[in-house]
Chains A and B, each alone.
Chain A
Amino acid sequence: MNKILFKLQLSKDVYLMRIEAPLIAEERAAGQFIILQVDDEYGERIPLTIADADVTEGSITIIFQVVGKSTFQLSRMNVGNEIPTLVGPLGKPTHIEKFGTVVCVGGGIGVAPLHPIAQALKNAGNHVITIIGARTKDLIILENEMKAIADEFILCTDDGSYGRKSLVTEPLKEICERNPKPNMVIAIGPPIMMKFCAETTRPYEVFTQVSLNTIMVDGTGMCGGCRVNVGKEVKFVCVDGPEFDGHKVDFDNMIARLNSYKEFEKEMHNCYLEKEIQEKEAAR
């Protein structure tokens, strides 16, 4: 069950894994996610977007960044290892149709969930403009894959180490100023990036869809930990989302909620790393 079939390090802290999961591969659609645990007694449940799926092989692809203890442990697992808990596909699939011109904006690891959506939009006959960005060159992932889909392709880094030196919002603004303006924007990346993409497009009234990755426990609507304010409503990301109208999402509240356990997480990760170092030293 859930055997790791393939593993590749994409950048310093970013890994790609193909995992055996035939039922999920069969059912999943662009925009959906899975939840996994690296330990089914004491592990935490982490939501990760499905980046790709292969029905023939019966596998799904995930791309994740090491940010804490659980993702660190996951990054240490190898081909042949089994992931004890893997459940999905969760969330509502992305609504795909021919909208016209769609700008797909991906920041950092957010390019992973963006890729299948861009592909589906392209297949549906849209003119796809992609903007991908990261802090620095080493953190750019799936450049070739995104380029292959895009009718127009823009790459930027914050520090100018690769591509255009700018935030993704700069080219996004330029595209919004075109005549005709794009029909839709899809932005996936760090919360702060999605917030500013939404702010960028707001004056141009271009519908901007964002994909939220909030704290979750069960991922099936049961805990409500993932709730966000969307307009005047409270929505659960796991069953109502993960995609919402970026102009309506209360990002500040969402970011505060994401940081609920930051200190705990840091401590867990540090304790774990220290323990590992000690064990290695003891082994020597």
Chain B
Amino acid sequence: MTSKSPEQISEEAKLLIVDYLNKIDDMKPKERTQIPVQEMPAQDPRQRIKNLDEVALGYTIEQARIEAMRCLQCVKQTCVDDCPVKIDIPRFIDHIAHGQMKEASDVIKEASLLPAICGRVCPQETQCQLNCAVGKALKDVDKSVAIGRLERFVADWERATGKVSIPEVKPETGKKVAVVGSGPAGLVVAADCRRQGHHVTVFEAFHKLGGVLRYGIPEFRLPNEIIDKEIETLKLMGVEFKTNFVVGRTRKLTDLMDKDGYNAIFVGTGAGLPMFMGIEGENLVGVFSANEYLTRANLMRAFEKGKADTPIYPSKNVAVLGGGNVAMDAARMAKRLGAEKVYVVYRRTEVEMPARKEEVAHAKEEGIEFYFLQNAKKIIGDEKGRVKAMECLRYELGEPDASGRRRPVVIPNSEFILNVDTVIVAIGNGSNPLISQTTPQLNVNRWGNIIVDETQKTSVDRIFAGGDIVLGAATVILAMGEGRRAAAAINKMLAEEIEKEKAAVN
């Protein structure tokens, strides 16, 4: 995104801020919009393709304050309206501008529990930053106030200064809440229910916590240390975690209530069932779901060759199918694992790509090649059943489809061959069938997503659900929004029960 080194960026900000600090409260909107957009310092692309360290390094304090001063403190707060968890954005940004980081943090925490994560992985350009007045004035959404980067700054500042506050927990109620899945939705439910004094147990199928934050999103985008820290906070609040526990198999969902005495359950098992293209050659050796590829590299640590026992396929030329964040993660991971050529093959154009803009830009800097308006037709194997090439087709954009995006239409006889030895399929996930298979009374739609009402309640009494198992594949922040809603409903239900029990005793 920038050719400037982190040192350069930092020095420039230090010089700039002196002038702005003198007139911090006296600037007119016009002046504010003329403050230069603060670029995100990043690791040099030539270096970072050899490591797993975080790419975006985060603002310096001067940068954060300058960027915060760009905010116009609008009366009509479109940023808040467009935030799925309704963070009071202008207020926390004003605190940053004035150097009040603790106060800024407190404002964010009123609405969001995991700012260090959201600041890194939210698609801000389609949410809070989409209708920002500054971006509108400058006629460029990329010039909106960098709300996500500021959120990240505050969360990182809090962690670095050791001033992480443990949310207050009310006296024990004696009620038990089971949370199935330790991904973003589950973590939010755990925190919100625990705050009300309920005993909370989080069940995780893997040996490590965090769900998609751990197995899916690579460290170069979201370091494990940050996930660990958030989970540590939950543990300090008294949340119990059980790993290596597959609800549905190790214990039936309903048995958690009938045998183990849980009073409510939240199902946040995610969208863990990779979709494939259904094309010829898709089971050849060298074709992977992005889930498998990323899980091997991230969760199973296959990136650390020589240390990890889990192998990862040795690739020279890799095609990644898809245009979302997962496709970007897989492509960039393949590069870091030593692939010489990595192609992202996407059947629409760059405009329609669902991936965060920053990730696409980072991928390009790292030498990932983008093949737009193309798609795989079949995968070709050698005599040993290993991938040796992929036949592709070219597309053009036609009329808009149901999603509002222009539908890609195949160009007849446009076949061509791409020489690759590895194909990573990143076209989305279906819903994992484990819970519904073993809990037949739970209503699901025809894609297997659990059906819930407006409070996230399922067809089974006391069972709630949220995140990708309800939404299909969505985003971290939407999952957290659903978790928040479910927790509110669970807390309300349990509070009413406690009242009734008290009334019965009296």
Contacts and interface: CB of A to CB of B under 8 A. Distances in A.
Given A89-B249, A225-B288, A257-B285, A264 B276 contact: no
In this complex, which of A27, A221, A222 has the most chain B Cβ atoms within 10 angstroms of its Cβ? A222
Interface string B410-446: 0000000000000000000000111001000000000
A265 B313 CA distance: 12
B282 A43 contact: no
B274 A222 contact: yes
Query: Which DSSP category, helix, strand, loop or mixed, fits chain A's interface?
Result: mixed
Contacts of A268: 309, 311
A252 B307 CA distance: 32
Interface in B264-292: 272-274, 276, 282-286, 288-289, 291-292
B87 to A, nearest CB: 31
In this complex, which of B249, B296, B307, B437 has the most chain A Cβ atoms within 10 angstroms of its Cβ? B249
Contacts of A69: 309
A229 B295 CA distance: 23
Contacts of B292: 217, 223-225
A219 to B, nearest CB: 8
B119 to A, nearest CB: 27
B20 interface: no
Interface string A226-255: 011100001000010000000000101100
B261 interface: no
B249 A45 contact: no
B304 interface: yes
B272 A234 contact: no
Contacts of A218: 205-206, 272, 295
A256 B385 contact: yes
Contact of B291 (A37, A223, A260): A223
B57 to A, nearest CB: 27
A256 B289 CA distance: 17
Contacts of A61: none
B23 interface: no
B312 to A, nearest CB: 8
Contact of A222 (B273, B309, B313, B314): B273
The number of chain B residues touching the other chain, given as a range, is 35 or more
Given A88-B250, A256-B384, A261-B311, A37 B273 contact: no
B283 A234 contact: yes
B251 A23 contact: yes
Given A42-B308, A224-B292, A261-B311, A88 B249 contact: yes
Interface stretch (A79-87, A128-136, A180-188): A79-87
A239 B437 contact: yes
A39 interface: yes
Interface in A12-44: 23-24, 27, 37, 39-44
Given A37-B207, A217-B292, A42 B307 contact: yes
Interface string B358-394: 0000000000000000000000000011100000000
B173 interface: no
A240 to B, nearest CB: 9
Interface in B293-328: 295-296, 300-301, 304, 307-311, 313-314
Contact of A44 (B249, B285, B309, B432): B309
A227 B277 CA distance: 14
B309 A220 contact: no
Interface of B: 205-208, 215, 243-246, 249-252, 272-274, 276, 282-286, 288-289, 291-292, 295-296, 300-301, 304, 307-311, 313-314, 384-386, 432-434, 437
Given A44-B309, A88-B249, 6 more contacts: A217-B310, A222-B295, A234-B283, A239-B432, A257-B385, A260-B286
Sort A-B residue pairs by CB-CB distance and give the 3 closest, nearest first: A256-B385, A222-B272, A223-B292
18 contacts: A24-B250, A40-B208, A42-B307, A86-B244, A87-B245, A220-B432, A221-B432, A224-B273, A224-B274, A224-B276, A227-B276, A228-B283, A234-B276, A239-B434, A250-B283, A253-B385, A257-B385, A260-B311
